[in-house]
């Protein structure tokens, strides 16, 4: 079953078993919530990420049958892990090439008793087959393994969503608008690369952690960004993807409470997601910032985001790239309207961001802030410089901003041409419709 996905869960009522529907719901909910801890613990137990995921899937399939018949056990996580552990033992028994390893594993079982994987005792049938005090470390180790620098960025994202977020290949493919076989191939190659490189299942030593943490944060940022504004398709938002990134960022913040940039990333996610309820209309159409009903913004998310930003700031090391973006998002969250936003501060924050993490997108956003703070005549040279450099060639973002600036400068014909170009380059249907509507309004 190498590289297998979650078993296809039986549709409600199709197998005729009275308990099938609640069992299916229980298994789905448990996997969504606990998948990272389950796969992480099994990876530590077996030393093999691919095998750990396979036996987890087999245990899920068995749970669908057993729980439909017998009802959900008192300790469903313990049940799944005991079942998966037995699958691992069976795997080693069947594999003559791993006789020596099985002997070592069996020795650990005898020495460690129920907490390391031995058969549960009769009076403790749901004992977990690992030390529960290490579960959090397992999740953290799984994140670092899935985001290991030996993998390509695309492979890191796919593997993180698969083994840490618990998404199926179909869900990942839908999120990034790529074929399912492409996702499956990325995940399979990633696992083989990790195995071939001998990547240990462990949290990196403190000396290496900060260097490798950047890769983990980048993957979460990519996932959230795609969820907050889809690059293509007929939906502006993919909230399920964005909320998975938030959940993983919260987990990472809980496990690494002394890393300010983790809290900066979490703050950015919370503050950005707070606007989701106002960013689309009833039919899914995009609503621009100046037209949003700020009463719909999620104030609980705003409070969580500001608290996380305070944690990042309190470390006293200065804000990193994600913290600076969170500080920009905080300016929007605190402002009662677009005109009353502190655009001067936002310009300064983008200038700081450009120094620590320079990119053409950061420069383009700085131009937008400059236009809001001091006028379009000051911002247009910045945008024209980016256009001359060719660094955003093929992106709809640059002609979108340039078109908006030209509208404000009264250069209507040029503005319409820029907005029409942006619409041709844009792959998201909702964003494209806004651009076309603006271009049409110019006559």
DSSP letters spanning 27-40: HHHHHHHHHHHHHH
Residue 338 DSSP label? S
pLDDT at 14 (0 to 100): 40
Q: Of 406, 377, 381, 287, whose CA–CA distance to 338 is shortest?
A: 287
Q: Which neighbouring-strand residues pair with 280?
A: 286
Cα 424 → chain centroid: 29
- Res 212: pLDDT: 83
Residues listed for the chain: 443
**What are the tens digits of pLDDT across the range 45-65?**
888 888 888 888 898 888 889
The segments of the chain whose pLDDT lies below 70 read 1-19, 95-136, 175, 177
Report in angstroms the alpha-carbon separations of 392 from 17, 299, 361, 382, 399: 57, 35, 8, 13, 10
> What was the pLDDT predicted at 161?
86
Query: Are the CB atoms for 42 and 84 separated by under 8 Å?
Result: yes
Who's near 413: CB < 8 A, 6+ residues apart?
A: none
Report CA torsion sign: 311, 312, 313, 316.
positive
Residue 429, classified by CB atoms within 10 Å of its CB into exposed (0-12), middle (13-18) or buried (19+), is: middle
Structure tokens at 266: 């979490």
Query: Residue 10 gets which letter from DSSP?
Result: P
First CA to last CA across the chain, in angstroms?
59
> What's the pLDDT score for residue 302?
97
What was the pLDDT predicted at 7?
Answer: 41
Residue 170 to residue 160: CA distance in whole angstroms: 14
Q: What is the pLDDT of residue 87?
A: 86
Contact 252, 313 (CB under 8 A): no
Q: What is the DSSP string of 97-149?
A: GGHHHHHHHHHHHHHHGGGGTPPPPTT-TT--SS-GGGHHHHHHHHHHHHT-T
pLDDT at 108: 47
- The rounded distance, in Å, linking the Cα atoms of 83 and 354 is 52
CA distance 86 to 82: 6
Distances (CA, A) of 275 to 83, 98, 197: 43, 53, 42
Give the whole-angstrom CA distance, residue 72 versus residue 76.
7
- 67: its two tokens: 């729980």
95 φψ region: left (φ > 0), alpha (ψ -120 to 50), beta (else): beta
| Tokens encoding 13 | 């009522």
Q: Cα dist. 12→20, 210, 231, 379 in Å?
A: 7, 46, 34, 57
Give the pLDDT confidence score for residue 2 in this predicted structure. Answer: 41
Q: How far apart are CA 111 and CA 87, in angstroms?
A: 20
CA-only gyration radius of the chain, Å: 25
Q: Which residues pair with 233 in a beta bridge?
A: 428
**Measuring CA to CA, how many Å separate 200 from each of 160, 195, 306?**
16, 9, 36
Answer whether 74's CB lies under 8 Å from 127's CB. Answer: no
CA distance 132 to 130: 6
Q: What share of the chain is helix, strand, coil (3-state, %, to 5)?
A: 70, 0, 25
């Amino acid at each position: 079953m190498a590289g297998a996905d979650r078993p296809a869960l039986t549709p409600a009522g199709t197998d005729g078993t009275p308990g099938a529907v609640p069992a299916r719901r229980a298994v789905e909910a448990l996997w969504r919530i606990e998948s990272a801890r389950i796969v992480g613990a099994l990876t530590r137990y077996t030393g093999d990420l691919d095998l750990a995921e396979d036996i987890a899937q087999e245990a899920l399939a068995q749970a669908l049958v057993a729980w439909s018949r017998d009802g959900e056990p008192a300790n469903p996580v313990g049940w799944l892990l005991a079942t998966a552990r037995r699958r691992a033992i069976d795997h080693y028994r069947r594999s003559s090439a791993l006789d020596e390893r099985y002997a070592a594993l069996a020795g650990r079982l005898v020495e460690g008793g129920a907490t390391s994987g031995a058969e549960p005792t009769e009076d403790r049938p749901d004992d977990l087959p690992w030390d529960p005090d290490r579960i959090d470390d397992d999740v953290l180790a799984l994140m670092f393994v899935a985001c290991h620098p030996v993998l390509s960025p695309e492979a890191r994202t796919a593997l993180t969503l698969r083994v840490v977020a618990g998404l199926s290949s179909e869900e990942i493919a839908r999120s990034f608008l790529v074929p399912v076989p492409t996702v499956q191939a990325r995940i399979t190659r990633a696992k083989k690369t990790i195995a071939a490189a001998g990547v240990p299942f462990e949290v990196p030593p403190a000396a290496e952690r900060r260097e490798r943490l950047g890769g983990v944060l980048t993957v979460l940022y990519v996932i959230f960004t795609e969820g907050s504004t889809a690059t293509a398709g007929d939906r502006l938002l993919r909230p399920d993807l964005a909320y998975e990134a938030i959940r993983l960022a919260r987990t990472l913040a809980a496990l690494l409470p002394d890393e300010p940039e983790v809290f900066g990333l979490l703050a950015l996610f919370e503050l950005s997601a707070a606007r989701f309820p106002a960013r689309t209309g009833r039919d899914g159409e995009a609503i621009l910032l100046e037209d949003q009903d700020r009463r719909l913004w999620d104030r609980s998310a705003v409070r969580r985001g500001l608290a996380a930003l305070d944690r990042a700031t309190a470390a006293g090391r200065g804000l990193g790239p994600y913290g600076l973006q969170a500080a920009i998002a905080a300016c929007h969250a605190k402002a009662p309207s677009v005109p009353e936003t502190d655009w001067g501060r936002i310009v300064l924050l983008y200038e700081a961001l450009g120094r620590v993490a320079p990119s053409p997108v950061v420069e383009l956003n700085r131009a937008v802030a400059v236009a809001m703070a001091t006028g379009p005549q000051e911002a247009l040279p910045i945008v024209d410089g980016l256009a001359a450099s060719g660094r955003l060639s093929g992106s709809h973002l640059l002609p979108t901003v340039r078109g908006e600036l030209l509208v404000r400068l009264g250069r209507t014909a040029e503005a319409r041409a820029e907005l029409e170009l942006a619409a041709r380059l844009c792959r998201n249907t909702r964003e494209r419709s806004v651009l076309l509507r603006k271009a049409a309004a110019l006559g």
